[in-house]
Amino acid sequence: MNLKKESWLMALFFLGCLVLALEEISYGQWIFDWESPEIFKEINTQQETNLHNIRDGVNIAAQLHILFMLVGFFGGASWVLKPYINGLFADLLCVDWHLSSYFFPVFLFYFYYDYIRPSFFIIGNEQELFELILSFGFISLAASNYRKALAVAP
């Protein structure tokens, strides 16, 4: 694969990670203290400006929890598997060991939340904290990939 093609793939991966991170922090809504537009107040379960909390009759949260567990487990363990995976996939998606701490706690939290916690034990809004940690992991992974791309560029 030539460098130009790899650069485009890394740029697309970075943009995808950026969108995921921005989605998790509601595009800076709470950082910059701006109010959600009326359309999001009507259709979003948390009345935030993001797409992943939109009411639709399907339990998106349960599907996202499974996705968070898969991403958290893979991100937390992929640095061990990276030497056995060849090619651009390993470079783009396998997390370096020092970034795995952004991913594996997310897996542990959602596994506990969905499969272990007693029904009488109510967890508040801690899910948002773990989603924020995961978004930092995506941004860190994208930045790490960008640095690697710069290192091999002519």
The answer to which of 3-12, 25-34, 108-117, 133-142 has the lowest mean pLDDT is: 3-12
What is the C-alpha separation between 104 and 106, in angstroms, rounded? 5
141 close to 17: Cβ distance less than 8 angstroms: yes
pLDDT given for residue 153 in this prediction: 62
For helices 126-152 and 104-111, the axis angle rounded to 10 degrees is 150
**In the predicted structure, residue 131 carries a pLDDT above the cut 70:** yes
pLDDT given for residue 1 in this prediction: 45
Domain boundaries, the chain: 3-152
- 27 Rama sector, left if φ>0, alpha if ψ -120 to 50, beta otherwise: left
pTM: 0.70
What b/e readout covers 115-141, taking b as 16+ CB neighbours within 10 angstroms? eeeeeeeeeeeebeebbebbbebbbbb
Q: For residue 105, name the pLDDT band (cuts at 50, 70, 90).
A: very high
Q: What 3 state SS string does 28-67 have?
A: HHHHHCCCCCHHHHHHECCCCCCCCCECCCCCHHHHHHHH
**In the predicted structure, residue 101 carries a pLDDT above the cut 90:** yes
pLDDT given for residue 123 in this prediction: 63
Q: pLDDT digits over 80-92, tens only? A: 988 887 776 677 7
pLDDT given for residue 58 in this prediction: 56
Residue 41 tokens read as 């107040």
Q: Which residues contact 87 (CB under 8 A, 6 or more apart)?
A: 1
